[in-house]
């Protein structure tokens, strides 16, 4: 073989090897990668529809095709779509939604997600209480709703008032009454995480507060010896039937006891001393009255 032919054969071999290498550098058979497969909700009611989305990447390049299927219910998705709507069946249970992702070279990957179908029971409101059934204009009142859910779902609370201003989140709210007297409904709506709702309301009256009335303030004796004691009683009533509390103040000596009846011990000196009873209705209404007791240092003055 002459030199020219040898060089020609060597060149041909090099060319063939280069072509083989070039052809061998095509796409490697790597399956697509499913980065995420998520549903709007994984706990649904019978016949409820949720959206499911698949995020996938093609390693080999090119477009991806999505093929959806489900173990129950109805799958509404385009074959090439990366998202689809699934409508749950009427029967409760766990259902698997599957997506098969295929690239242009036939490489494929499969992913699935489990969705639970169950019935839902509405929340049960066991109690709705207000701190008062009557408040003054612009007065404040705290309300509390007690509720439970048969399915142990998380509950949310929404409060509304027919007047005034209501604030707060959760089962406790604070209501500021309007200026206008009248009766106002406070409503709470309790909703569970599955959309079940229950509602109830309470009525609170708004009106002008009337001061307590002290009907009498009497001392057991109006003249006593120094360092001796006497009982004092305050009889009071409230036009609005509010619960009353009593506060006592003195010039000198000591007060023992509480409420509407107390005992006053005179100081170790003579003189005239004022004992004051103050009656409060808890709504800002205050009324006071005084009684005068004379203290003597000699029993001959009694």
**Count of residues in the chain:** 302
What is the Cα 45 distance to its own chain's centre?
24
Quote the CA–CA distance of 89 and 46 in Å, as a whole number: 6
- Protein fold of 124-206: Immunoglobulin-like (2.60.40)
Model confidence at 62, pLDDT cuts 50, 70, 90, reads: confident
Quote the CA–CA distance of 130 and 190 in Å, as a whole number: 17
pLDDT at 24 exceeding the cut of 90: no
What's the pLDDT score for residue 302?
Answer: 63
Question: In 260-295, which positions are buried (b, 16+ CB within 10 angstroms) versus exposed (e)?
Answer: bebebbbeeeeeebebebbbbbebebebeeebebeb
What's the pLDDT score for residue 116?
Answer: 96
What percent of the chain stands above pLDDT 70? 88
What's the pLDDT score for residue 3?
Answer: 56
**CATH class assigned to 33-117:** mainly beta
Listed by start position, the domains of the chain span 33-117, 124-206, 213-301
pLDDT tens-place string over residues 225-234: 999 999 999 9
* In contact, 249 and 278? CB cutoff 8 Å: yes
pTM exceeding the 0.75 threshold for the entire prediction: no
pLDDT at 174 exceeding the cut of 70: yes
The CATH code for residues 213-301 is 2.60.40.10
Q: What are phi and psi of 202, to 5 degrees?
A: -135, 145
Is the fold of 124-206 the same as that of 213-301?
Answer: yes
pLDDT tens-place string over residues 80-108: 578 889 999 999 999 999 999 999 889 99
């Amino acid at each position: 073989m002459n030199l020219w032919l040898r060089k020609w054969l060597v060149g041909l071999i090099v060319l063939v090897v280069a072509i083989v290498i070039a052809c061998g550098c095509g796409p490697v058979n790597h399956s697509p990668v499913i980065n995420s497969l998520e549903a709007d909700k994984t706990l649904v009611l019978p016949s409820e529809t949720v959206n499911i989305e698949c995020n996938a990447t093609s390693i080999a390049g090119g477009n991806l095709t999505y093929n959806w299927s489900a173990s129950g219910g109805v799958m509404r998705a385009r074959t090439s779509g990366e998202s689809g709507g699934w409508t749950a069946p009427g029967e409760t249970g766990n259902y698997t939604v599957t997506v098969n992702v295929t690239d242009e070279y036939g490489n494929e990957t499969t992913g699935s997600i489990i969705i639970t179908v169950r019935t839902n029971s509405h929340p049960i409101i066991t109690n709705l209480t207000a701190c008062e059934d009557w408040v003054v204009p612009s007065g404040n009142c705290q309300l509390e709703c007690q509720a439970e859910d048969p399915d142990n779902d998380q509950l949310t609370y929404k409060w509304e008032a027919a007047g005034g201003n209501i604030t707060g989140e959760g089962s406790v709210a604070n209501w500021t009454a309007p200026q206008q007297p009248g009766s106002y409904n406070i409503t709470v709506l309790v909703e569970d995480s599955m959309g079940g709702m229950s509602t109830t309301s309470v009525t609170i009256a708004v009106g002008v507060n009337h001061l307590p009335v002290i009907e009498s303030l009497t001392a057991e004796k109006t003249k006593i010896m120094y360092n001796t004691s006497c009982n004092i009683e305050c009889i009071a009533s409230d036009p609005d039937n509010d619960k009353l509390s009593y506060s006592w103040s003195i010039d000198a000596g000591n007060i023992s006891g509480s409420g509407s009846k107390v005992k006053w011990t005179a100081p170790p000196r003579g003189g005239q001393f004022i004992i004051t009873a103050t009656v409060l209705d808890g709504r800002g209404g205050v009324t006071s009255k005084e009684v005068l007791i004379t203290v003597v240092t000699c029993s001959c003055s009694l």
